[in-house]
Structure 1
Amino acid sequence: MNADLIAVDWGSTHLRAWQGEKTLNLPLGVSRLDGRSPRDIFDRHIAPWRESPATPVMMAGMIGSDAGWQAVPYLPCPLSLQTLSANLCEVAENVWIVPGLKVEGENVMRGEETQLLGAMQLSPAACYVMPGTHSKWVQVANGQVTGFATAMTGELHHLLMAHSLIGNGLPQQIDDDSAFREGLARGLRSPTVVSELFRNRAARVLGKLPATSVSDALSGLLIGAEISAMLATCPVKTVTLVASAALASRYQTAFTAAHVEARCVSGDRAFLQGIRSILDERR
């Protein structure tokens, strides 16, 4: 990322920023401000990077929601992501928020649209899968985003491990590829997933699943169910994954099991490419 630009990915739980070789990663997402305003956080942690107001700051994510700095309208699909630059919202001098996308009456996204723009330039595809707290499956045709769907895979995993009987009283979890793959196979077979969830507790109680492997077994189950359900409505043979290395590895394993070819683009690289493209388009 060039030093002439500050790129900010400001989500629900974390604030991340880049300028040149400088990076920032703080647990100061819009749901964790503890009474402080986004402007206060900006002035303390991001504004000091600017040599002058001439340095543009481009922000994407939940900072543009009604819980963030300012609610920025969603742009309706289908649309070309080249229109993002013409719909930026200026919240301070040369400080801009990227709008999100919506499928009217069905779905919304914030932050992923910027990653998506970068990914479309780095790895053109007809279907993009963006794993995370709320995984997005995005369809693209003729350079336009035609629609997208959301699976709450990451959030379900967190809720079940932290607040359900499945995760209650467990020791520290360790990586267990075998447990992940066994859960994955069950998820691919049973995309409705509801009838399979309690088996994670039963298997642990009955000594069939190590107590330290419940998280990976549950992760495999949920990812498998996500992929099986999404492929049923959007059958594809090739996808581009936009994800961190850890998530990309899990989803690539899952897609291989589902006989789908998955190419991968780093989520951070895609985000920074998208931010740069939006700024260049605006100029």
Structure 2
Amino acid sequence: MTSRYIAVDWGSTNLRAWLIEQDRCQASRQSEAGVTRLNGKSPQSVLAEITHGWRDSATPVVMAGMVGSNVGWKNVPYLTLPVRLDTIGEQLTPVDDNVLIVPGLCVRREENHNVMRGEETQLIGALALAPASLYVMPGTHCKWVQADSAHIVDFHTVMTGELHAVLLRHSLIGAGLPEQQPSPAAFSAGLARGLATPALLPELFTVRAAHILGSLAPEAVSEFLSGLLIGAEVATMRERFSPQPITLVGGEALTNRYQQALAAVGYQATVLAGDTAFQAGIRSIVNAMAN
């Protein structure tokens, strides 16, 4: 077992790093220097900054996420499903001295073309900490991942988070709105609507009409829209998956919303923090490297 290493989750807009010793996190750092926000700096220099004082030549750095994409440090090949999770760590790509990138996963079928980077590392950890046959991974692009006891079998991506942002910022739904406020009631109302009527196109304009006509508080449009989109997502995706053990992997705010949505259709889900899953996944990879 490698007693000291650095785990890095390097996405498009953010970068997080953890210093691990004896399987314990000793320090963590984060930065907004995602791979699309390097501002002229090289990936090597950004990594050196965020790991300053942590590294020596014997300390491996294992990275996952968009750092391995065509806009990242190096375009690392995807592994095509089905994939055994315990073999992902055998196919790391070195990009610098003792710096390696975890490969992403892809589906290449006529009816389903899909890719992921970063979530595969969370899945390795989730399999050990909260095994399930279905993993739901909320985020900008929510992943619904089918698994068995050792393999990732299939996955689908739903652009719910991105669609929410685009509609609020770049469509009439968000035009002229005041600052948005938390509203569990508005979220629940939107969730009920989305679950009942998952065909979204006829529903979206009613969000604007509702606040113009006074049926929806203008400061609660974001919450109602979030509920509507998540409800439609869950209603649509449950048609693909029968009731089964589910693990939600992600940040607390989003997993709480998805847990509420799943419970509304009779699905109970275990929740696992995304950072916890990621660190456990990197730990499994590093331990396998040392054996």
The normalised TM-score by structure 2 is 0.93
Structure 1 residue ranges (4+ consecutive) displaced by more than 6 angstroms after TM superposition: none
Deviation at 1:258, TM superposition (A): 1.1
Aligned to 1:248: 255
After superposition, the C-alpha distances for 1:213-260 in whole angstroms (9 at most, x for unaligned) are 011000001101111111112222431100111111111111111111
Name stretches of at least 5 consecutive residues in structure 2 with no aligned partner: 20-24
Aligned to 1:29: 34
Contact kept, 8 Å, 2:17 with 2:50, in 1: the verdict is no
Q: Does 1:96 align with 2:103?
A: no
- One-letter amino acid of the structure 2 residue matched with residue 22 of structure 1: A
Equivalent position to 1:111, from 118, 124, 134: 118
Query: Could you tell me how far apart the structure 2 residues matched to 1:209 and 1:188 are?
Result: 18
Deviation at 1:42, TM superposition (A): 1.3
Aligned to 2:13: 13
Q: What SS does the aligned partner of 2:175 have?
A: coil
Deviation at 1:174, TM superposition (A): 0.9
What are the equivalent positions in structure 2 for 1:262-277 lying under 5 Å apart? 262-277=269-284
Query: Could you tell me how far apart the structure 2 residues matched to 1:64 and 1:185 are?
Result: 39
Deviation at 1:35, TM superposition (A): 2.6
Query: Could you tell me how far apart the structure 2 residues matched to 1:122 and 1:230 are?
Result: 24
Percent identical among aligned pairs is 51
After superposition, the C-alpha distances for 1:106-132 in whole angstroms (9 at most, x for unaligned) are 101000000011001001110000000
Contact kept, 8 Å, 2:131 with 2:149, in 1: the verdict is no
Contact kept, 8 Å, 1:237 with 1:259, in 2: the verdict is no
Contact kept, 8 Å, 2:134 with 2:244, in 1: the verdict is no
Q: Does 1:219 align with 2:226?
A: yes
Query: Could you tell me how far apart the structure 1 residues matched to 2:252 and 2:149 are?
Result: 29
Name stretches of at least 5 consecutive residues in structure 1 with no aligned partner: none
- One-letter amino acid of the structure 2 residue matched with residue 10 of structure 1: W
Q: Does 1:120 align with 2:124?
A: no
Contact kept, 8 Å, 2:30 with 2:50, in 1: the verdict is no
The range that moved more, 111-120 or 141-150, is 141-150
After superposition, the C-alpha distances for 1:243-283 in whole angstroms (9 at most, x for unaligned) are 11111111111111111111111111000000000010111
After superposition, the C-alpha distances for 1:145-192 in whole angstroms (9 at most, x for unaligned) are 110000001111111111111112211111101110111011112222
Aligned to 1:53: 57
Q: Does 1:257 align with 2:267?
A: no
Contact kept, 8 Å, 2:17 with 2:30, in 1: the verdict is yes
After superposition, the C-alpha distances for 1:50-90 in whole angstroms (9 at most, x for unaligned) are 34111111100000001000010000110111111110011
Q: 1:57 to 1:49 in 2, by over 3 A?
A: farther
What are the equivalent positions in structure 2 for 1:35-46 lying under 5 Å apart? 35-46=40-51
Equivalent position to 1:174, from 162, 177, 181: 181
Contact kept, 8 Å, 2:79 with 2:106, in 1: the verdict is yes
Aligned to 1:150: 157
- One-letter amino acid of the structure 2 residue matched with residue 74 of structure 1: Y
Q: What SS does the aligned partner of 1:49 have?
A: coil
Contact kept, 8 Å, 1:84 with 1:98, in 2: the verdict is yes
Aligned residues: 281
Query: Could you tell me how far apart the structure 2 residues matched to 1:194 and 1:66 are?
Result: 32
- One-letter amino acid of the structure 2 residue matched with residue 56 of structure 1: P
The range that moved more, 33-42 or 223-232, is 33-42
Deviation at 1:3, TM superposition (A): 7.5
What are the equivalent positions in structure 2 for 1:231-246 lying under 5 Å apart? 231-246=238-253
- One-letter amino acid of the structure 1 residue matched with residue 269 of structure 2: A
Query: Could you tell me how far apart the structure 2 residues matched to 1:21 and 1:168 are?
Result: 45
Query: Could you tell me how far apart the structure 2 residues matched to 1:238 and 1:226 are?
Result: 18
Query: Could you tell me how far apart the structure 1 residues matched to 2:270 and 2:220 are?
Result: 28
Query: Could you tell me how far apart the structure 2 residues matched to 1:276 and 1:49 are?
Result: 21
RMSD: 1.3
Q: 1:167 to 1:124 in 2, by over 3 A?
A: same
The range that moved more, 250-259 or 25-34, is 25-34
Aligned to 1:69: 73
The range that moved more, 140-149 or 119-128, is 140-149
Query: Could you tell me how far apart the structure 2 residues matched to 1:121 and 1:65 are?
Result: 26
